[in-house]
Amino acid sequence: MSDGFVGAGEPAYEAKVLMISVAARMAGMHPQTLRQYDRLGLVQAGRAAGGGRRYSVRDVVLLREVQRLSQDDGINLAGVKRIIGLEQLVEQAQQRVARLEAELDAAYRRIAELEAVVRFPGSDLVPTSRASTALVVWRPRRGPER
Protein backbone atom coordinates (compact mmCIF):
# COMPACT_ATOMS: atom_id res chain seq x y z
CA MET A 1 0.00 0.00 0.00
CA SER A 2 1.63 3.22 -1.07
CA ASP A 3 0.31 6.15 0.92
CA GLY A 4 3.38 8.39 0.85
CA PHE A 5 4.30 7.61 4.45
CA VAL A 6 7.37 6.16 6.06
CA GLY A 7 7.45 2.41 5.43
CA ALA A 8 6.28 -0.20 7.91
CA GLY A 9 9.07 -1.70 9.95
CA GLU A 10 10.96 1.58 10.16
CA PRO A 11 11.24 3.11 13.65
CA ALA A 12 9.58 6.37 12.52
CA TYR A 13 6.51 4.38 11.42
CA GLU A 14 5.79 3.33 15.02
CA ALA A 15 6.92 6.54 16.79
CA LYS A 16 4.04 8.30 18.60
CA VAL A 17 5.00 11.87 17.67
CA LEU A 18 2.01 13.32 15.79
CA MET A 19 -0.32 15.69 17.65
CA ILE A 20 -4.01 14.88 17.36
CA SER A 21 -4.66 17.76 14.95
CA VAL A 22 -1.91 16.59 12.60
CA ALA A 23 -2.91 12.92 12.77
CA ALA A 24 -6.58 13.79 12.17
CA ARG A 25 -5.71 15.96 9.16
CA MET A 26 -3.47 13.22 7.71
CA ALA A 27 -6.25 10.64 8.22
CA GLY A 28 -8.87 12.95 6.70
CA MET A 29 -11.08 13.24 9.76
CA HIS A 30 -12.04 15.68 12.50
CA PRO A 31 -9.98 15.52 15.73
CA GLN A 32 -13.18 14.76 17.67
CA THR A 33 -13.73 11.68 15.50
CA LEU A 34 -10.18 10.60 16.30
CA ARG A 35 -10.84 11.06 20.03
CA GLN A 36 -13.96 8.91 19.71
CA TYR A 37 -12.02 6.17 17.89
CA ASP A 38 -9.43 6.33 20.68
CA ARG A 39 -12.16 5.92 23.34
CA LEU A 40 -13.57 2.93 21.44
CA GLY A 41 -10.11 1.32 21.32
CA LEU A 42 -9.80 1.40 17.55
CA VAL A 43 -6.47 3.18 17.93
CA GLN A 44 -4.30 3.71 21.00
CA ALA A 45 -2.69 7.09 21.43
CA GLY A 46 0.58 7.64 23.18
CA ARG A 47 0.79 10.49 25.67
CA ALA A 48 3.08 13.48 25.66
CA ALA A 49 4.64 14.76 28.90
CA GLY A 50 1.80 17.29 29.21
CA GLY A 51 -0.85 14.59 28.69
CA GLY A 52 -1.70 15.37 25.06
CA ARG A 53 -2.43 12.51 22.69
CA ARG A 54 0.28 11.48 20.24
CA TYR A 55 -0.12 9.21 17.23
CA SER A 56 2.20 7.39 14.84
CA VAL A 57 2.18 7.06 11.08
CA ARG A 58 0.99 3.49 11.66
CA ASP A 59 -1.99 4.91 13.58
CA VAL A 60 -2.82 7.25 10.68
CA VAL A 61 -2.77 4.32 8.23
CA LEU A 62 -5.06 2.41 10.61
CA LEU A 63 -7.40 5.41 10.90
CA ARG A 64 -7.66 5.59 7.12
CA GLU A 65 -8.61 1.91 7.10
CA VAL A 66 -11.27 2.53 9.79
CA GLN A 67 -12.69 5.33 7.66
CA ARG A 68 -12.70 3.16 4.53
CA LEU A 69 -14.39 0.22 6.25
CA SER A 70 -17.02 2.36 7.95
CA GLN A 71 -17.78 4.83 5.15
CA ASP A 72 -17.14 2.89 1.94
CA ASP A 73 -18.11 -0.61 3.10
CA GLY A 74 -20.80 0.41 5.60
CA ILE A 75 -19.40 -1.63 8.49
CA ASN A 76 -20.35 -0.42 11.96
CA LEU A 77 -17.56 0.51 14.40
CA ALA A 78 -17.95 -2.72 16.43
CA GLY A 79 -17.42 -4.69 13.22
CA VAL A 80 -14.47 -2.50 12.26
CA LYS A 81 -12.91 -3.12 15.68
CA ARG A 82 -13.36 -6.89 15.25
CA ILE A 83 -11.85 -6.82 11.74
CA ILE A 84 -8.84 -4.83 12.95
CA GLY A 85 -8.35 -7.21 15.89
CA LEU A 86 -8.44 -10.23 13.58
CA GLU A 87 -6.02 -8.59 11.15
CA GLN A 88 -3.63 -7.95 14.03
CA LEU A 89 -3.88 -11.60 15.09
CA VAL A 90 -3.10 -12.71 11.53
CA GLU A 91 -0.12 -10.35 11.41
CA GLN A 92 1.21 -11.72 14.72
CA ALA A 93 0.74 -15.30 13.50
CA GLN A 94 2.58 -14.51 10.26
CA GLN A 95 5.47 -12.99 12.22
CA ARG A 96 5.62 -16.07 14.46
CA VAL A 97 5.60 -18.41 11.44
CA ALA A 98 8.42 -16.39 9.86
CA ARG A 99 10.45 -16.63 13.12
CA LEU A 100 9.83 -20.38 13.37
CA GLU A 101 10.79 -20.92 9.73
CA ALA A 102 14.03 -19.02 10.33
CA GLU A 103 14.75 -21.19 13.38
CA LEU A 104 14.01 -24.33 11.37
CA ASP A 105 16.34 -23.20 8.57
CA ALA A 106 19.06 -22.54 11.16
CA ALA A 107 18.53 -26.02 12.63
CA TYR A 108 18.80 -27.64 9.19
CA ARG A 109 22.01 -25.69 8.52
CA ARG A 110 23.43 -26.84 11.88
CA ILE A 111 22.55 -30.46 11.08
CA ALA A 112 24.31 -30.15 7.72
CA GLU A 113 27.37 -28.66 9.43
CA LEU A 114 27.48 -31.51 11.95
CA GLU A 115 27.05 -34.14 9.25
CA ALA A 116 29.91 -32.58 7.31
CA VAL A 117 32.19 -33.00 10.33
CA VAL A 118 31.43 -36.71 10.69
CA ARG A 119 33.46 -38.69 8.15
CA PHE A 120 30.69 -41.00 6.96
CA PRO A 121 27.43 -39.97 8.57
CA GLY A 122 25.13 -42.90 9.10
CA SER A 123 27.73 -45.48 7.98
CA ASP A 124 27.24 -47.51 11.15
CA LEU A 125 23.56 -47.99 10.38
CA VAL A 126 22.34 -50.83 8.22
CA PRO A 127 19.01 -50.24 6.55
CA THR A 128 16.54 -53.09 6.63
CA SER A 129 13.37 -53.56 4.71
CA ARG A 130 11.45 -55.10 7.59
CA ALA A 131 11.88 -55.82 11.26
CA SER A 132 13.23 -59.28 12.04
CA THR A 133 12.10 -61.43 14.93
CA ALA A 134 14.86 -64.02 14.43
CA LEU A 135 17.13 -64.83 17.33
CA VAL A 136 20.77 -65.35 16.49
CA VAL A 137 22.97 -67.15 19.00
CA TRP A 138 26.66 -66.51 18.70
CA ARG A 139 29.22 -68.64 20.43
CA PRO A 140 32.88 -67.86 20.27
CA ARG A 141 35.23 -70.55 19.09
CA ARG A 142 37.12 -72.27 21.83
CA GLY A 143 40.10 -73.11 19.83
CA PRO A 144 40.98 -74.70 16.58
CA GLU A 145 38.44 -77.25 15.53
CA ARG A 146 39.55 -80.29 13.65
Q: pLDDT tens digit string along 43-99?
A: 988 888 888 889 999 999 999 999 999 999 999 999 999 999 999 999 999 999 999
- What domain range includes position 49? 11-105
144 within a domain of the structure (yes/no): no
Q: Is residue 98 part of a domain?
A: yes
Categorize the per-residue pLDDT at 2 as very low, low, confident or very high, splitting at 50, 70 and 90.
very low
**For residue 135, is it within any domain?**
no
Q: What share of the chain is helix, strand, coil (3-state, %, to 5)?
A: 55, 5, 40
In a domain? residue 18: yes
Residue 48 lies in a domain: yes
The pLDDT value given to residue 141: 79
**Would 3 be classed as within a structural domain?**
no
Q: How many domains does the chain have?
A: 1
CA–CA separation, 43 vs 34, rounded Å?
A: 8
For 89-101, letters b (16+ CB in 10 Å) and e give: eeeeeeeeeeeee
- Please give the Cα distance from 136 to 63 (Å, whole number): 76
Q: Is residue 76 part of a domain?
A: yes
- Within a domain: residue 127? no
CATH number at residue 45: 1.10.1660.10
Is the alpha carbon torsion for 1, 38, 47, 21 positive or negative? positive
